[in-house]
């Protein structure tokens, strides 16, 4: 037990600070670029959300993809490390999916006049968040072990199947959501150089932030497993000690003898 604890602290020891500082600088640069972007005639100040909204949506895709790859690796090898990455990526992916819906809602208020509309992209994104939260809740309800890892992996693969539906919903159904502009044959005015720069810095910033969060969550998951193993080991040792040296049985307490018959006379 004790020999594995230092390794847990060393895991990601050098990578974690590097990712943390890099994400701090890059997210700050993204916010700065977003604040200095020129306003558009259609969306005014809200057009600056292009520096944040597409990148966090991208990271929600990345998180589901990484979780699915880790799920396949776990099902093939049954190694606990892959299960930890799977669980961590699902949790961080749920955070970024919620941020996608939140920033999209802020953006839709001046554009559509409402905070929420049941159109294909928003509906499928909300469904993705519900599945992610359900997978996390089910994992926490199950006891540690291979069974929990298998169930989590199956949910991850099911979540991966939702990504094409979410991404292509604006093309498959009639949607008010703006289609993708980066790869469009005729990019919109929002794809001018300042907006492209802000978006690409945002993509890099939130991807690095995602990686840092996953590293932290994997370390916490490992420490929780070690704490559970340590508690289980102590409980087993105490139980064995009780069986080897059972506590003495206290003598029965009896009252004074009551004389009967000739003794009473």
The per-residue pLDDT for range 229-253, each reduced to its tens digit, is 677 677 777 777 777 766 666 665 5
> Per-residue confidence at 44, pLDDT binned at 50, 70, 90?
low
**Residue 126, pLDDT score:** 93
The per-residue pLDDT for range 115-145, each reduced to its tens digit, is 887 888 888 999 999 999 999 999 999 988 8
Q: Is the pLDDT of residue 87 over 80?
A: yes
C-alpha 43: how far from chain center: 32
> Per-residue confidence at 187, pLDDT binned at 50, 70, 90?
very low
How far CA 242 is from CA of 88, 114, 201, 227, 238, in Å, comes to 39, 66, 62, 23, 6
**Mean pLDDT, to the nearest integer, of 210-225?**
91
Nearest-10 crossing angle of helices 80-112, 120-141:
150
- Mean pLDDT across the chain, nearest whole number? 80
**Mean pLDDT, to the nearest integer, of 35-39?**
75
User: How far is Cα 92 from Cα 220, in angstroms, rounded to an integer?
Assistant: 13
User: How far is Cα 83 from Cα 156, in angstroms, rounded to an integer?
Assistant: 11
pTM of the model: 0.76
**Residue 41, pLDDT score:** 53
């Amino acid at each position: 037990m004790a020999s594995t604890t230092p390794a847990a602290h060393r895991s990601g020891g050098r990578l974690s600070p590097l990712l943390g500082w890099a994400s701090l600088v890059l997210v700050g640069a993204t916010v700065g670029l977003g604040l200095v972007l020129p306003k558009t005639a259609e969306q005014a100040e809200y057009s600056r959300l292009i520096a944040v909204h597409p990148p966090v949506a991208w990271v929600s895709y990345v998180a589901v993809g990484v979780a699915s790859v880790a799920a396949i690796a776990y099902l093939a090898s049954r190694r606990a490390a892959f299960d930890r990455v799977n669980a961590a990526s699902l949790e961080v992916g749920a955070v970024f999916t919620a941020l996608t819906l939140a920033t999209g809602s802020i953006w839709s208020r001046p554009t559509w006049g409402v905070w929420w509309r049941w159109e294909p992209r928003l509906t499928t994104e909300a469904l993705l968040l519900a599945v992610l939260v359900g997978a996390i809740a089910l994992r926490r309800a199950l006891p540690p072990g291979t069974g929990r890892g298998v169930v989590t992996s199956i949910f991850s693969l099911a979540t991966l199947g939702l990504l094409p539906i979410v991404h292509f919903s604006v093309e498959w159904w009639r949607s008010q959501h703006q289609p993708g502009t980066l790869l469009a044959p005729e990019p919109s005015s929002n794809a001018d150089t300042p907006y492209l720069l802000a978006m690409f810095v945002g993509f890099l910033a939130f991807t690095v932030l995602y990686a840092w969060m996953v590293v932290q969550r994997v370390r916490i998951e490992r420490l929780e497993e070690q704490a559970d193993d340590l508690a289980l080991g102590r409980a087993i040792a105490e139980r064995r000690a009780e069986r080897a040296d059972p506590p003495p049985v206290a003598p029965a307490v009896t009252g004074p003898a009551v004389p009967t018959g000739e003794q009473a006379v």
